[in-house]
Amino acid sequence: MPKTYWISAYRAVKDPDKLAAYAKLAGPAITAGGGRFLARGEPAAVYELGLKQRLVLIEFDSVAQAIATHDSPAYQEALAALGDGADREIRIIEGI
Number of domains in the chain: 1
44-87 pLDDT, tens per residue? 999 998 889 999 999 999 999 999 999 999 999 999 999 999 99
Closest CA to 15 of 89, 90, 88, 72: 88
The whole-angstrom separation of Cα 80 and Cα 24 is 12
Query: What is the enclosing helix (H) or strand (E) of 19?
Result: helix 16-32
pTM above 0.85, yes or no: yes
* pLDDT number for residue 20: 97
Q: What CATH number is associated with residue 20?
A: 3.30.70.100
Q: Which domain holds residue 59?
A: 4-94
